[in-house]
Amino acid sequence: MKPLSVTSPAIGLRVMWTYIVTGLTIFLLMLLVGISMRGSQAGWWTIEPGTFYSLLSLHGIGMLTAMVVAGLGTLWYLVSRETGLDARVAYLAYAFFVAGVACVIVSVVPGHYGALWTMLYPLPFTGTYWPTWATGAWLVGAALVMLGFMIWCGQILGALLARYGGLGGVLAVDYVLHSRAFAKLDREPPPPQIFAAAITAIDGLIAGAAGLTVGVALIVRWLDPTVAIDPLWAKNLTYLFGHTFANLTMYMAVAGIYVGLPICTRRAYHTSVPLVLAWWGTLLFVIIAYFHHLYMDFVQAESVKLVGELASFLAAIPVVVITVYGAVLLVHRSGMRWTLGSMFLFTGLIGWVVGGVAAVLDSTIPFNVDLHNTLWVPAHFHTYLLEGVVLFTLGWVFVNLEQRAGASSGALIRWLAGLGVFGGGALFVLGFYIAGAAGVPRRYAVEPPPGPYLAGIATVGAILVLVGLLVVAYEALRLARLPRSEVAP
């Protein structure tokens, strides 16, 4: 079957910028929500607990949606450079995201919904302080976001199957299993970013189906309180979707490394057999890595917990090690200039590794028992998202802007942006890590000591991140306004 001709670059870029600008705007708004919560935990101002949990619900799903939307935009553009994609489907998925976000905002702002997005049944139906309609608006909003995500996954999967002649071609099965014959035929495996797109699409569809199953069950339970739901089943499906969805944000953003760093270093990032094997590991194991959220659920079988531990390691470690190793080799003695783009891409690798190590610790059963209900968990996913996914996204944005304008930023801007976003981010997550190690519980509006003191340090870090991002936004607008240039920066 012949693929459609490659999408026009102008269309691809328009879709990408629509998604990325929307994602980063939601991210900035959610950062303000996050600062307000951390400041309240530090005792700088007071937020009533009910309002705190509503804000926490908004912050959680808002941040994740922001990162997903930005990542999907990047991947859509990268796939559109390889094969034909219909922009109408991308805008349709986007419309579902916007409608879902609108429902969530209605649920939280006038409705005061406060059971978070990874709520555990019988939440969000019992012990509530918000009206029933707010629960319904939240559930419908979350379902719309999932539908938008699955529409995107369906489109990318279809395009890749057509371009590479089926699933075997997309996953480079012949390249790995029959490498000599593959080379003799002068065939090329898909470029690395295609693995990121394929794994996002395949695992996204599986996780989305699980998420919609529990989502529809909760909507039915909302409409008909006589319908019973097994709490352990609901927790498993909630985390199957939630953990996979959160993990995939990183794999979407990593595509920016595979394409962005080669632009900065003027070297190519080639597909290799270890890289393909690592992505196969992620494809298989990221779906079941979520079991580490249920180590302390006594009714879950012990064997499942051991599978979860192994899957957590195999989903994350190989792809991190090989991608980072490849990226370091790419940069080593390349004479790469440290522009904002290359700086963010490279520092994002540090955040990915540190957040990944903290995640692996949490997924190790003996540590998990002590760490999982503490601020260690938000520490690891904030590192992963803020110091990893966000930096990769910003790096990709600046690589594009610098390439388009044929210019880069001055040293002062680079220092201010770097210190603010990376340095402030490091201070921010440090507050979480120390508090987690000290046993401060997570998801509490009011924390026991030393929580408030460390929340103060974290708030300073988050404000520095905000200042850094304002510098970044100013610089992005400046570069975007420069006339297009054909000369590389």
Partner 1 sequence: MRRPRVVGLVVLGVAVLVAGLPLLRGPIELPVTQHHLLHAALLVGAALAGVLCGGRDALRRASPAWIVLAMVAPILAMLLMWPSAYSFFEQHPAGHALEHVGIVACGFLAGFAGERFAAGVGWATGGSAVLMALLAAFGFGVAPPTAVPIAAVAEPSLQPGASGRRNTGASSPAQPSHGAMIYATNCAVCHGTAGEGVSGPSLKDERTRKNLRQTIEWIENPAPPMPKFYPAVLTAADVRAVATYVQTL
Q: Which residues bind partner 1 (CB under 8 A)?
A: 1-4, 86, 88-89, 92, 122, 125-128, 143, 147, 150-151, 154-155, 157-159, 161-162, 166-167, 202, 205-206, 208-210, 212-213, 216-217, 220, 224-234, 237, 298-299
Are the beta carbons of 350 and 392 closer than 8 angstroms?
no
**Considering beta carbons, is residue 299 or 412 the nearer one to partner 1?**
299
**Considering beta carbons, is residue 225 or 366 the nearer one to partner 1?**
225
Closest to 349 in 3D by CA, of 395, 400, 398: 395
Distance CA 426, CA 459 (A): 12
Distance CA 234, CA 390 (A): 30
Give the nearest distance from C-beta 234 to partner 1 in angstroms.
6
Give the nearest distance from C-beta 93 to partner 1 in angstroms.
9
Residues in the chain: 489
**Considering beta carbons, is residue 89 or 331 the nearer one to partner 1?**
89
One-letter amino acid at 294 equals L
Give the nearest distance from C-beta 161 to partner 1 in angstroms.
4
Give the nearest distance from C-beta 28 to partner 1 in angstroms.
30
C-alpha separations of 464 from 39, 327, 457 in Å: 13, 28, 11
Distance CA 475, CA 413 (A): 8
**Considering beta carbons, is residue 98 or 473 the nearer one to partner 1?**
98
Give the nearest distance from C-beta 432 to partner 1 in angstroms.
28
Distance CA 212, CA 204 (A): 12
Instruction: Give residue for tokens 């705007």.
Output: 25
**Does the CA dihedral 170-175-178-182 come out positive or negative?**
positive
One-letter amino acid at 283 equals L
**Considering beta carbons, is residue 209 or 438 the nearer one to partner 1?**
209
Distance CA 109, CA 111 (A): 6
Give the nearest distance from C-beta 214 to partner 1 in angstroms.
8
Are the beta carbons of 373 and 441 closer than 8 angstroms?
yes
**Considering beta carbons, is residue 267 or 443 the nearer one to partner 1?**
443
> 320: which 2 tokens?
């991190």
Query: Could you write out the DSSP letters of every residue in 34-54?
Result: HHHHHHHHHTSS---HHHHHH
**Considering beta carbons, is residue 83 or 347 the nearer one to partner 1?**
83
- What residues contact 237, with CB distance under 8 A and at least 6 apart? 210, 211, 213, 214
**Considering beta carbons, is residue 147 or 358 the nearer one to partner 1?**
147
Are the beta carbons of 426 and 391 closer than 8 angstroms?
no
Are the beta carbons of 385 and 351 closer than 8 angstroms?
no
**Considering beta carbons, is residue 28 or 229 the nearer one to partner 1?**
229
Give the nearest distance from C-beta 133 to partner 1 in angstroms.
14
